[in-house]
Amino acid sequence: MRTASALTATIVAALAVSLAPAWPVAGATAADLASRADAAAPTPHPADRARPAVVERKVIGHSRRGRKIIAWRVGDPDAKRTVVVLSTMHGNEPHTRKILYALRDGRPIRGVDMWLIPVLNPDGLHRRTRKNARGVDLNRNYPYDWKRLGGSYYSGPKPASEPETRALMKFLRQVRPSRLVSFHQPLHGVDTDTKNPRFARRLARELRLPRKRFVCGGVCHGTMTGWYNHYFAGAAVTVEYSAKPSTAMLRGPAARGLLRVFGARRSAR
């Protein structure tokens, strides 16, 4: 039978192991440090193991019906520029997400730290409707220049009332990208009447889209790009494709053009 002093010594030793510092200690070998780094690294999602471009997968929130809103990180996390690209804020505008899937599923990307959110409104996509499951137009729900709108542009009972809106706001505050591109349909053009016209013109050139000014018929209130451009140092731009763009164009020239906008490239393998 153990004495009280021996039992105490055992407990103290166990606590010392459990509370050992995670940082390197004197005498640690390179193998020790590599082992610790591997243990601290996020475990790849099984679906992403065949996607060499994916660095990280993050659930940034959930829709009104509980569907996951997922962001994929591609490129180089140590790059000087961080950008966010998102699509399908309106569920009846589903095609441009193919650009993001092409970037996610292809070869590794170099030269930029890029986050991709292919589907911001999964409930709307499921139902093929513009609005979310509560009937709110997410692109009228942001807390900058918000107004109470009805009909097709119902802005919700109050600013940021929707979980999808709050999820993206929280994510952007964490990531703080220098550039943000929001893909929509079907107006076919790039909004150059924005915070950084030079960036917008470059998008139009590389994506081979006309320059336009989106006035929304007076209902451009509470938009995501308006909120971001007001509160962040970076610049957000709305890009619209036509109602039925070809899949080959979206996954090919459009995806490559977007990489050129940010001075990024695919690696050889």
In order of start, what are the domains of the chain with their CATH numbers?
51-266 (3.40.630.10)
pLDDT in 10s for each residue of the chain, 269 residues: 444 444 444 433 443 434 333 333 344 444 443 444 433 445 668 777 788 999 999 999 999 999 999 999 999 999 999 999 999 999 999 999 999 999 999 999 999 999 999 999 999 999 999 999 999 999 999 999 999 999 999 999 999 999 999 999 999 999 999 999 999 999 999 999 999 999 999 999 999 999 999 888 788 999 999 999 999 999 999 999 999 999 999 999 999 999 999 999 999 86
pLDDT score of 12: 38
pLDDT score of 46: 77
Give dist(CA 35, CA 37) in Å, integer. Answer: 5
Give dist(CA 70, CA 159) in Å, integer. Answer: 23
Query: What is the sign of the dihedral through the CA atoms of 88, 93, 99 and 105?
Result: positive
pLDDT score of 95: 98
Residue 189, H or E segment: strand 189-191
pLDDT digits (tens, 9 = 90+) for 150-197: 999 999 999 999 999 999 999 999 999 999 999 999 999 999 999 999
pLDDT score of 42: 58
- Please report which residue ranges of the chain form alpha helices under DSSP H: 4-18, 30-40, 97-105, 122-127, 163-175, 197-207, 224-231, 247-249, 255-261
Give dist(CA 41, CA 121) in Å, integer. Answer: 29
- What are the C-alpha distances in Å from 18 to residues 9, 14, 195? 14, 6, 51
For residue 186, whether the previous peptide bond is cis, meaning omega lies within 30 degrees of 0, is yes
- Look at strands 82-86 and 113-117 and give their pairing: parallel
Q: Of 45, 47, 28, which Cα lies nearest the Cα of 37?
A: 28
For 182, the token pair is 């929001």
pLDDT score of 171: 98
pLDDT score of 49: 77
pTM score above 0.85: no
